[in-house]
């Protein structure tokens, strides 16, 4: 069944087309004015337009129809256009096809041929949309899809076992899920695990990092844009919400989203509708939303930096992913998984971890959580010269991170009247020193994104 727009100033023609399309089960809307038709195309997405070439201002030349084809193409490039005229000529047919029409039919028409054209053009329209989505997916999402490869969530940790038991119940529903936890704890992998367990697992898992996209580009990334919407918009682009239709949209670092963008996202999630940048056509989406943050979202709300109504929309279910230091039972199993993976990736013969190296892994504080463990194991695979990963291959000492015992040392020389800001300032300053002034490492060690880290530096007046 196709959605068809009929544009013809002859009431008899319009009536005949409406009866024919209704009998064939198609949805349709008819207008006699080119101006009204153009206004409608700006608002509604049709599969096929049946377009007369001649109107009152131009009864034979087809110039009005040719101009309308080009305008239709600009505002709704995915719509198939079939032109109709009672003044048939090869020249006009060629001109209409050059202007962007997909097919041409004479009046009076053969009913079966017209229905066949409508059916074929509707199928082509849907195919073009799928191909456009695939092209955009390849360019927009390949990095995320590679990063979010499925991971085994077998665990020995009691905290994780409870979380996974709850997850099996949650995943089958369509409720939105809000994941909290430090950087590197595996929030993205958990979001994809939810998708694979859900009834939407045949759809796409699409992710967007709200903390890594500038405010000026967020709308284009989330909602898409049409050609000419802004200076660099040289072609139409599909957005993440549209790509995630019937699947799952994962929004990472949601706490870093600017307030004006939060309002636009809230509207799209509440109404399940949005417009591409530069377009007034409203599109629908049915995507399950999973969000994640390492920030204290309730503190952000108290400071007026995050909308409470948006949180209500996002956190139907809230899951907290514990840091690696609270699930030490999993450290060696995770290390073994990463070791096998990186040996295969780097063409190394299978390696084993010595007892001294295993003990070092267990004693380390892992401020960077699973992500840091992953990097440490990859580095050890590359540096290892024998058949075993030694403690020296892990190079944990060079990381200058605090051990669990060091983490318990009192701050501010035991002062009991220090404010929260005083404590936070000293922690950040110490971590910058421990990382030799490397702000990226300092941010990661604190479980913060770069943008969140620099906001704290500015707030606390840390040079």
Each residue of 174-183: pLDDT tens digit? 999 999 999 8
- Say what the pLDDT of residue 388 is: 92
- Say what the pLDDT of residue 128 is: 61
- Tell me the CATH number for domain 148-320: 3.40.50.300
Whether the pLDDT of residue 59 is over 70: the answer is: no
- Say what the pLDDT of residue 130 is: 58
Each residue of 192-248: pLDDT tens digit? 999 999 999 988 899 998 877 877 788 888 998 887 778 777 777 888 998 899 999
CA 349 to chain centre: 37
Portions of the chain given CATH number 1.10.10.60 = 410-459
181-204 core/surface letters (b: 16 or more CB in 10 A; e: else)? bbbbbbbbbbbbbbbebbebeebb
Q: Are 245 and 291 in contact (CB under 8 A)?
A: no
According to CATH, the topology of domain 324-404 is Helicase, Ruva Protein; domain 3 (1.10.8)
Q: Are 212 and 263 in contact (CB under 8 A)?
A: no
- Rounded Cα gap, residues 324 and 182, in angstroms: 9
Each residue of 69-95: pLDDT tens digit? 888 887 777 788 998 876 556 677 778
Pairwise pLDDT comparison (140 vs 443), residue with the higher score: 443
Whether the pLDDT of residue 340 is over 80: the answer is: yes
Each residue of 45-56: pLDDT tens digit? 888 999 888 776
Place of tokens 């809000």: 178
- Say what the pLDDT of residue 56 is: 64
Q: Are 212 and 257 in contact (CB under 8 A)?
A: no
Whether the pLDDT of residue 61 is over 60: the answer is: yes
- CB atoms under 10 Å from CB of 140, counted, come to 20
Q: What is the mean pLDDT of the chain?
A: 83
CA 153 to chain centre: 23
Cis peptide before 108 (omega within 30 of 0): yes
Residue among 407, 383, 387 at smallest CA distance from 396: 383
DSSP code string of 77-100: TTSEEEEEESS--HHHHHHHHHHT
Res. 400 pLDDT band, cuts 50 70 90: very low
Q: Write out the CATH class of domain 3-125.
A: alpha beta
By three-state DSSP, how is residue 356 classified? Answer: helix
Each residue of 359-393: pLDDT tens digit? 999 999 999 999 999 999 999 999 888 899 999 99
- CB atoms under 10 Å from CB of 397, counted, come to 11
Residue among 119, 113, 88, 83 at smallest CA distance from 99: 83
Portions of the chain given CATH number 1.10.8.60 = 324-404
| CATH H-level superfamily of 410-459 | Homeodomain-like (1.10.10.60)
Place of tokens 């719509």: 79
How large a percentage of the chain has pLDDT more than 70? 86
């Amino acid at each position: 069944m196709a959605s068809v727009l009929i544009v013809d100033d002859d009431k008899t023609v319009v009536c005949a087309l409406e009866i024919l399309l209704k009998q064939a089960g198609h949805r349709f809307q008819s207008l006699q004015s080119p101006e009204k038709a153009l206004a409608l195309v700006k608002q509604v997405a049709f599969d096929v337009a049946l377009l007369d070439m001649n109107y009152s201002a131009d009864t034979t030349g087809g110039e009005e129809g040719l101009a309308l084809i080009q305008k239709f193409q600009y505002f709704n490039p995915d719509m198939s256009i079939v032109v109709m005229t009672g003044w048939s000529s090869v020249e006009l047919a060629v001109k209409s096809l050059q202007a962007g029409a997909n097919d041409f039919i004479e009046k009076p028409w053969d009913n079966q041929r017209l229905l066949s054209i409508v059916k074929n053009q509707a199928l082509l329209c849907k195919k073009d949309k799928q191909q456009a989505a695939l092209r955009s997916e390849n360019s927009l999402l390949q990095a995320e899809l590679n990063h979010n490869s499925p991971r085994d969530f077998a665990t020995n940790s009691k905290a994780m076992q409870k979380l996974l038991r709850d997850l099996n119940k949650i995943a089958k529903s369509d409720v939105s899920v809000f994941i909290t936890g430090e950087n590197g704890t595996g929030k993205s992998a958990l979001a994809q695990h939810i998708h694979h367990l859900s009834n939407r697992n045949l759809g796409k898992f699409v992710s967007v990092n709200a903390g890594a996209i500038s405010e000026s580009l967020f709308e284009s990334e989330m909602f898409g844009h049409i050609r000419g919407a802004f200076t660099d918009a040289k072609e139409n682009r599909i957005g993440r919400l549209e790509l995630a239709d019937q699947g799952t949209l994962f929004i990472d670092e949601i706490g870093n989203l600017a307030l004006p963008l939060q309002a636009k996202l809230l509207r799209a999630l509440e109404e399940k509708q949005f417009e591409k940048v530069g377009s007034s056509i409203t599109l629908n989406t049915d995507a399950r939303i999973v969000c994640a943050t390492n920030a204290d979202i309730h503190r952000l709300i108290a400071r007026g930096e995050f909308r409470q109504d948006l949180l209500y929309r996002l956190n139907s279910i809230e899951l907290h992913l514990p840091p690696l230091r609270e699930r030490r039972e999993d450290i060696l199993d995770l290390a073994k998984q990463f070791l096998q993976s990186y040996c295969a990736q780097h063409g190394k013969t299978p390696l084993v971890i010595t007892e001294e190296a295993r003990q070092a892994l267990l004693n380390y504080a892992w401020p960077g959580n699973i992500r840091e463990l992953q990097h440490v194991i990859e580095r050890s695979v590359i540096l290892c010269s024998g058949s075993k990963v030694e403690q020296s291959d892990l190079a944990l000492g060079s990381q200058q991170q605090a051990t669990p015992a060091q983490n318990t040392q009192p701050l501010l020389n035991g002062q009991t009247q220090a404010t929260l800001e005083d404590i936070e300032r000293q922690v950040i300053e110490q971590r910058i020193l421990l990382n030799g002034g490397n702000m990226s490492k300092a941010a990661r060690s604190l479980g913060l994104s770069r943008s969140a880290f620099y906001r704290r530096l500015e707030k606390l007046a840390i040079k």
